[in-house]
Structure 1
Amino acid sequence: MGKEFIIKRYTDDDKERWNNFNERCVQQHFFFNRNYMDYHKDRFSDFSLIIEDVNKNILALFPANRAGNTIYSHQGLTFGGLLYLPRTFVQKIIDILSAIEAFYSSFQIEKIIYKAIPHIYKLEQAEEDLYALFKNGWKLRRRDFSSLIVSSKKWVPDRSRIKNNKIAINNRIEVKYSTDLFSFWCLLSSNLESRHGVKPTHSLGEIKLLVDLFPDNIKLIGAFIGDEMLAGAVIFFTDEVLKIQYSVNSVRGREVKALDALFIELIKLNQKIFLDFGHSCEEEGNLLNEGLARFKYNFNAEGLVFDTYEKSL
């Protein structure tokens, strides 16, 4: 596997070492904490890797699962890829990626899917892995379009958003944090089923578990009239990003512009460097939901892409 490092499969015995190293990585997200990754381990066959030097010091992590003869990094996460320390030299990343390819080949793996981590979720630009993917002949498989607000820039929303916020104010909409995940999940599940014929990625039980495990990273905010939640959003916090993971508007909420008011309040409250509205794509990134993308654009959002690469071994 190379003279400078060795590769081993992750086991439960490695959990503490994995989590300790993950906290020091340039790629900053609680997604890669094993307490998060393992909440749905019954759904995925874990094939994560630990890359060490000859003295068994960890150099990098590769969160991954196996499905048939394909490795994904990672199907249960929004993104994945190599996790490594700040100021890691690009040639080392190229060598590690090559060794990972060889390691998986020895297990008759035919393809690897790599969901690259956008720069906003890193402590430095840290695009060594993107160059390594190019250098090693990986191909772009998918590109999803997301929408981003940069907090340091002057915020100038579209007039339509300002108008809708006034409607919400006139209807006495109150935006506040909430612990009523049950009401939110009922709204979300009903909306996704009626409009798209799908269910939320997480079940109510799973999201409650994750909130208990990561109370500082996962919160619910709602738009209310009295005690009735008309719109809501589950938001994920990392060191530099506020990410809107789920959002929903009820029928009445659409009438009184509850979700507009909620997003505007979130933007005003946000103390992170970035606010990530999330994807506006369907069908493996090939279909842009133009209405959804324009809705976010009108909040003065910019474009951000989430890239997925693949390599046949």
Structure 2
Amino acid sequence: MNFEIKKYTQEYFDDWNKFIKESKNGLFFFDRDFMEYHSDRFQDHSLLIFNNNKIAAVFPANESGKEIISHGGLTFGSLVLSHYVKASEVLEIFEEIKKYYQKLSFHEIIYKAVPHIFHKYPSEEDLYALFRSQASLFRRDISSVIDLSSPIRFSETKRQLVRKCEEKQIIVSENENFEEYWTLLSEVLQKFDTKPVHTVTEISLLKEKFPENIRLFEARKDNILFAGIVIFDFENVVHTQYMAASQEGRKLGALDFINHTLLHKFEDRKYYSFGISTENQGTFLNEGLIQQKENMGARGIALDFYSIKL
């Protein structure tokens, strides 16, 4: 089969976004409105792969020196596929992508595979193509996930904290305004010498563009903010992107109470995801952090990073 590769340009904006929605492994943050909020920080070099003038796949990517990264500004990259592309065709597409970047003198492709739980339909042909391309696994993070079809119950300590919040009549509700929570989040992260990936301006803009996908839930009483969780809603997966609690909120177990509430709210979904507990390119496991997630019933999936030498 003949595949034609074209570099993404603005003229493909609508076609790209339409394809992402219809693909079997596309995520809302592959939408160009999401990818381009930080376009000043990443030199885009995404690709569209056509067959008979129809998009068969797209490859979100950016340049970084002589490297191509899929994608430096996103949690995952990956080849996004049509439902109709078969395994042998994915092998062809990989070869064409490699040839394309090689001709432009790039030395390496960094590929961040989308974990299977985020797929709308089975879509691991890329993992086989990576194997056939002799890609090397150079980083693996562990992320914690709850299977909502048969969740493991909270630990006794967590259940006690949930009961305490119920007795104190803490209320969990959704807030469209991120300002106050972002101040709390930034103060908490500052203690660890870090800050949110998104500024409050950026997250508010993204919320405006993706109101159904980006949502903030807070625990309050008498309008006092104790804790909050920002979720990214991927339809089959609800992912906790940012979690933070005030000092009083930690004593109350307000984050546990929000998670407890959201697990019931989204019980019709497939998975509830807490994200990674690893540092230093996956070589260090933050045991205290992962234990908190495991005490809520979460268990591990791998987030893999591959290198393809050109």
TM-score strictly above 0.5: yes
Shift of 1:36: 0.7
Report the equivalent of 1:199.
195
Residue in 2 that maps onto 1:250? 246
What residue in structure 2 maps to residue 26 of structure 1? 24
Structure-1 residue corresponding to 2:42: 44
Q: Deviations over 1:152-192 (max 9, x none)?
A: 11442111110111222233211111123111100111111
Alpha-carbon contact 1:171-1:256 (below 8 Å) kept: no
Q: Does 1:66 align with 2:59?
A: no
How big is the shift at 1:56?
A: 1.7
Query: Partner of 1:165: helix, strand, or coil?
Result: helix
User: Could you tell me the percent identity over the aligned residues?
Assistant: 38
1:259 to 255, 258, 276: 255
Structure 2 residue 277 is matched with structure 1 residue 280: yes
For residue 84 of structure 1, the aligned residue among 77, 81, 87 is 81
Query: Letter of the aligned partner of 1:180 in structure 2?
Result: N
Matches within 5 A, 1:220-231: 220-231=216-227
Where structure 2 has 5 or more consecutive residues not aligned to the other structure, the ranges are none
- Cα distance per residue 1:223-243 (max 9 Å; x no partner): 112111110011011121111
> What is the Cα deviation at residue 291 of structure 1?
0.7
**Residue in 1 that maps onto 2:161:** 164
Q: In structure 1, the residue corresponding to 2:22 is in which secondary structure?
A: coil
Task: Determine if contact 1:73/1:79 at 8 Å carries over to the other structure.
Answer: yes
Local SS of the residue matching 2:166: helix
Sort the Cα spacing of 1:43 and 1:49 in 2 relative to 1 into closer, same or farther, 3 A. Answer: same
> Which amino acid in 2 is paired with 1:220?
L
Shift of 1:87: 4.3
Matched, 1:188 2:176: no
**What is the alpha-carbon distance in structure 2 between the residues aligned to residue 290 and residue 98 of structure 1?**
40
Match of 1:131 among 128, 133, 139: 128
d(CA) in 2 for partners of 1:41, 1:159 = 46
In the TM superposition, residue 145 of structure 1 has moved relative to its aligned partner by: 0.7
Q: Kindly indicate whether the alpha-carbon contact (under 8 Å) linking 1:7 and 1:50 is maintained by their aligned counterparts in 2.
A: yes
Q: 1:272-303 CA deviation, whole Å, 9 max, x = no partner?
A: 11111111111111111111101000111121
> Deviations for 1:38-86, whole angstroms, at most 9, x for unmatched residues?
1111110000001112x32111100000011110000111101100112
- More displaced 10-residue stretch of structure 1: 204-213 or 78-87: 78-87
Q: How does 1:150-161 map to 2 (within 5 A)?
A: 150-161=147-158
In the aligned structure 2, how far is the partner of 1:98 from the partner of 1:191?
46
SS of residue matched to 1:78: coil
Q: Which residue of 2 aligns with 1:238?
A: 234
SS at match of 1:23: helix
Aligned partners of 2:231 and 2:279: how far apart in 1?
21
Contact 1:218 1:235 in 2 (8 A): yes
TM-score w.r.t. the length of structure 2 is 0.97
Q: Quick check: 2:172–2:261 contact (8 Å CA) kept in 1?
A: yes
User: What amino acid is the match of 1:224?
Assistant: R
2:174 aligns with: 177
- What are the ranges of 5 or more consecutive residues in structure 1 without an aligned counterpart? none
2:12 corresponds to which of 5, 11, 14: 14
